[in-house]
Every structure is written in structure tokens, then in C-alpha cells.
Amino acid sequence: MDKRTKVKLRIVLIVILLVGIIVTPVVCIITHWVEKNIVTDIEDYETYFGAQGIHRTSNTSKLKKTSESYLVINNIFPEKLPESAEVEDFYYEYYNPWDPCYLSYLVYRCDVNDYKAETERLKQIPRPTDYLIYGATDFPYPLLAVNASYYGYIYALADEAQQEIVYVELTFCNHFTDIDYEKVIPQKYLPLGFDAKEGNPTWEENRPKIDVTSGEAEKEDSFNDTGIERN
């Protein structure tokens, strides 16, 4: 091996070493920073949505390991399922690449008495006057309860024909969610026209705008102080 080849080889090895030194910590930071938890076993429902559940209260040991908790206090999902509940679907996801995102989805049917009791409970929950946010124009089923704000939606629908109750949560930060919610929640249970994907119109309207004269960012927020979107 001549001298020139040895020099080239040495340079290549140094470059590889430097790249490794730079990339390894970055990969470590990213892999340790991103938090994700998916739950589909209905047996774990109360662990997350019960009175002292991870997703209902900050009083949980889970917070010692991750930042998993909630963005919006959820009084729409039941603390426990009725005795007669026949669960059709359950899915809970916490995903935090930089900011926390939550997706919760529950569908069950139950007997007449339990159905009446739960629908009456839901109807007693106060709802905002303006609850059509993120492009939503209406709901596909009768709306039993809703929480609508900058952080997104929590709502319950009544499928009266099937005597089913549908609960949905999509909460997030910065006007969009990193969770691909359309892969989990059937379109028929999403608000009509709803769009919380990255780059959605609400996100576009509220992202910081640069003032070319001052070089400073100006933010126009279409949500008022209560978190409800202005018309």
C-alpha cells in the first residue's frame, strides 16, 4: 500500500469516526425522547380511563417514567363500562415525538337501561357554543357530548339504530396531530370535514408569520381565550 493510499484511508476512517461521534448521540436523543404507547386490550380500560387512570388524572406513577397523562380533562369517556357493555372496538394511543398527541376510541353496545343511563349522563355535560373546529361542519350521528378547543376534540355519538355509543378523542398541540387517526377511526365516526393533519387549513391560518419589515414572527390565532375557534 503506497503512501497516498494510506493517507486516503486514514482520512476516510477519520470521517467515519467523526460521523459516528455526531450521529450516535443524535440517534440516542431521538429514540429516548420519542414516547409511544398503544393499548387495545379492553381489560386495561380502567387503568387509563378509571377514576385514577393514567389518562384521567396526573396522580399516577406512570408520570415518573414518561410524560404520559392528558391535554384535556376527559369527563366524556366513562370511568368504567356498564355491566351489559359489549365492546366492539377500543384503541388508545399516546404519541409524543416532540409534543404529546392522544387518540382514544371506544365503541360498545349495551342494554336499554344502561344505554339510557349513559346517554343521559353525557347529555348533562356542558358543551361549548361553537364546537365545529378544524374544518368540521357537522357530526355524522347525534352528538351526545363534546369538548372542542385548540387542543382538538373529545366527543360521544349515539348510533341509535344499533344502540351503540361511540367515544372519540383526538387531542394534540400546535394545531395538528402526528397520529394517523384515519387509519384507526372509521370515517363514519369522524366529524364531517374535520382535518387535523399536518398542514391543515387551521394550522396554516395560525402558524407564525414573518414580518418582512421587522424580521419578527407574528402569530394570528383564530382561537379565542377560551380555546374555541373564531368564526
Look at residue 67 and tell me whether its pLDDT is greater than 90.
no
Determine the average pLDDT of the residues in 113-142: 96
- How many structural domains does the chain have? 2
**Model pLDDT for residues 88-101, shown as the tens digit of each residue:** 999 999 999 988 99
Same domain, 41 and 60: yes
Give residue 193's Cα distance to chain centre.
18
Do residues 29 and 47 both lie within one domain?
no
Phi, psi of 72 (to 5 degrees): -130, 130
Domain that holds residue 3: 1-33
Residue 68's pLDDT is 76
Q: 204 and 126, same structural domain? A: yes
Same domain for 94 and 156? yes
The answer to whether residue 195 sits within a structural domain is yes
Both 140 and 44 in one domain: the answer is yes
Q: Is the pLDDT of residue 141 over 90?
A: yes
**Domain match, 22 and 46 both:** no
Statement to judge: residues 126 and 173 lie in one domain: yes
Per-residue pLDDT reduced to its tens digit, 4-29: 665 556 665 665 555 445 544 433 33
Query: Does residue 19 sit in the same domain as residue 105?
Result: no
Average pLDDT over residues 43-61: 86
Write out pLDDT tens, residues 145-197.
999 998 999 999 999 989 999 999 999 998 999 999 999 999 999 999 999 99
**11 and 75 belong to one structural domain:** no
Which residues are CB-neighbours of 223 under 8 A, at least 6 positions away? Answer: 149, 150, 206, 229, 230
